[in-house]
Structure 1
Amino acid sequence: MTAAGDQDKLKFPTSLGTSTATEIRLLGQDLAQDLMGKVGFGELAFWLVAMRRPTPGELRVFEAVLVALADHGFTPTAIAARVTYLSAPDSLQGAMAAGLLGGGSRFLGVTEDCGQFLAGVLAEHDGGLPDTDAGWDELALEAIRKQRADGKFVPGLGHPNHKDGDPRTPVLIGIAKEEGVRGPHLRLFEAVGRMSETALGRKLPLNGAGVCGAALADLGLPTELLRGFSLLARAAGLLGQIAEERRNPVANDIYMSVDRNAVYVDPEHDA
């Protein structure tokens, strides 16, 4: 057993939140006096991870990313949340968690995958960064071909619905340009879009999840945490989905449509 004296010596350092009987401090600030009503949630979320306050331009891009990822309709994450809420209406947290757990390589996770792909290409590039579109195109073409030679998809390319272009992509790039935070990740991502047809034989659109990853990476946020920002955004969307489920339920119809159309297949003849 640990002696009482040893307990007094234990320290668990944190730069985030601490509290006493009379005060709550967060990020070195008095929560009640310095932050509440003075700092928006988006700014706080950025600050908590980056350990610095974003500039106004960075904040605009960051919050545009959160808006872009919040809700995309009846995606598997939304359906999971609604059906879980149908099964356990006493467990809002369970329904929210069910939706968030579905954030992976096909939904939401592309943001992180794309950010890491772009960061990896930039890290491996010898010499300085290109200073012309032609230079970026050459770097992108090489990166796409290497990715495909390794048997991997290029994250951020293609979309199941927006075949002719994801409407979020040019808007976010435009905001980043306006705010002066269009950095190397976005420049490379744009070049990937331009060179996709040359490298792959068909032109694929740059999707919104990918452009969000590029934009977040240009803000200096850790690429290994980018999926967390996708989940932060989607949490708001899932809460909206559950609120709508309460107003206009569809989860039972989803459940029953599957249940009533289930067909038994003999496992010996299951192809």
Structure 2
Amino acid sequence: MTEPHPTAPSYPTALGASSRDAITLLGQDLAADVMGTVGFGELAFWLATQRRPSTGEVRVFEAVLAALADHGFTPTAIVTRLTYLSAPDSVQGALAAGLLGGGSRFLGVTEDTGRFLHDVLTGREGTAPQDESGWDALALETVAAQRATGRFVPGLGHHVHKDADPRTPRLMQIAREEDLFGPHLALFEAIGRVHPQVLGRTLPLNGAGVCGAALADLGLPLELLRGFALLARTAGLIGQLAEELRRPVANEIFLSVDLNNRSVPPEPYEPAVESAGGS
């Protein structure tokens, strides 16, 4: 590696940097102090926050990653398998295709819930509630406000787990065990208790939503919450590709659509016409 010119611009970083005979990462010697010593979950947290997490923080963080890694034949998994079928020479393309599907319906719920809870907590006056009744009052106010504007509460409801999402109580339990059950989780838990009073029906607290609350309580950047969901899902998509190699289903999925399509007359696009007048 050539030495930088003395008048060259400087680009400071606390992350990875290389010299002729060493690599540093987060101020540590990568080979001597990180490799074989720091687990991947701990390292991911450390990279994002530039502070080494506690043992409890690592446990909660890795529980989130496990909760979000794989959910079976979701659209992200299917598109990863289909892309690999089309381009088996491009594993990176298959993984990227699946990750690009992480949006408001799948995976993005983690970010949406964390941001929503954070906005509620930072948008109110006074200190945080001190007991369950206080959290219930705040949650009731929050759900009612969303209902009044016709908006959903992020993280409330699940398309498969209609009664309860098994990930939610487990992650809350782990956070409590590590004394990391903070205001975001407290508000989310209260929403689970009180929302039937407003909505007239009982919905489960989504596992991806509780992950967003837990990540926010860990103090991780809200702007990166979806990134952590994608980090977890990358492992799951690698698993999907590994299984596709052993027990391929992508071609059957493709043929089930290709051989069962039916021709219909074209339907010209007609833009919606706004009604005249106003208030």
Tell me the equivalent position of 1:89. 88
Q: Please give the secondary structure, in 1, of the residue aligned with 2:7.
A: helix
Tell me the equivalent position of 2:232. 233
Write the distance in 2 (CA, Å) between the matches of 1:7 and 1:203: 66
Deviations for 1:163-208, whole angstroms, at most 9, x for unmatched residues? Answer: 1100000000000000000000000000011111012111110010
Give the partner amino acid of 2:139: A
The root-mean-square deviation of aligned C-alpha atoms, in Å, is: 1.6
Deviations for 1:52-72, whole angstroms, at most 9, x for unmatched residues? Answer: 111111110000000000000
Tell me the equivalent position of 1:45. 44
Tell me the equivalent position of 2:146. 147
Tell me the equivalent position of 2:274. none
Write the distance in 2 (CA, Å) between the matches of 1:87 and 1:148: 44
Write the distance in 2 (CA, Å) between the matches of 1:7 and 1:93: 38
Write the distance in 1 (CA, Å) between the matches of 2:216 and 2:97: 27
Tell me the equivalent position of 1:200. 199
Change (3 A) 1:248 1:52: same
Normalized against structure 1, the TM-score is what?
A: 0.96
- 1:94-133 equivalent positions in 2, closer than 5 A: 94-133=93-132
Write the distance in 2 (CA, Å) between the matches of 1:201 and 1:33: 58
Compare the two structures and name the one with the higher helix fraction. 1
What is the deviation of 1:119? 0.2
Give the partner amino acid of 1:165: A
Give the partner amino acid of 2:115: Q
Change (3 A) 1:178 1:268: closer
Tell me the equivalent position of 2:135. 136
Tell me the equivalent position of 1:190. 189
Q: Please give the secondary structure, in 2, of the residue aligned with 1:8.
A: coil
Write the distance in 1 (CA, Å) between the matches of 2:147 and 2:222: 22
Write the distance in 1 (CA, Å) between the matches of 2:211 and 2:99: 18
Q: Which runs of 5+ in 2 are unaligned?
A: 271-279
Write the distance in 1 (CA, Å) between the matches of 2:116 and 2:194: 16
Normalized against structure 2, the TM-score is what?
A: 0.93
What is the deviation of 1:105? 0.3
- 1:26-41 equivalent positions in 2, closer than 5 A: 26-41=25-40
What is the deviation of 1:7? 8.2
What is the deviation of 1:9? 3.0
Write the distance in 2 (CA, Å) between the matches of 1:208 and 1:155: 11
Write the distance in 1 (CA, Å) between the matches of 2:242 and 2:71: 15
What is the deviation of 1:263? 1.1
What is the deviation of 1:211? 0.3
- 2:83 corresponds to 1:78: no
Q: Please give the secondary structure, in 1, of the residue aligned with 2:80.
A: helix
Give the partner amino acid of 2:27: G
Q: Please give the secondary structure, in 2, of the residue aligned with 1:105.
A: coil
What is the deviation of 1:23? 0.5
Tell me the equivalent position of 2:168. 169
Give the partner amino acid of 1:144: V
Percent identical pairs in the alignment equals 67
Q: Please give the secondary structure, in 1, of the residue aligned with 2:203.
A: coil
Write the distance in 1 (CA, Å) between the matches of 2:237 and 2:258: 24
Write the distance in 2 (CA, Å) between the matches of 1:188 and 1:159: 19
- 2:252 corresponds to 1:253: yes
What is the deviation of 1:6? 8.9
Tell me the equivalent position of 1:210. 209
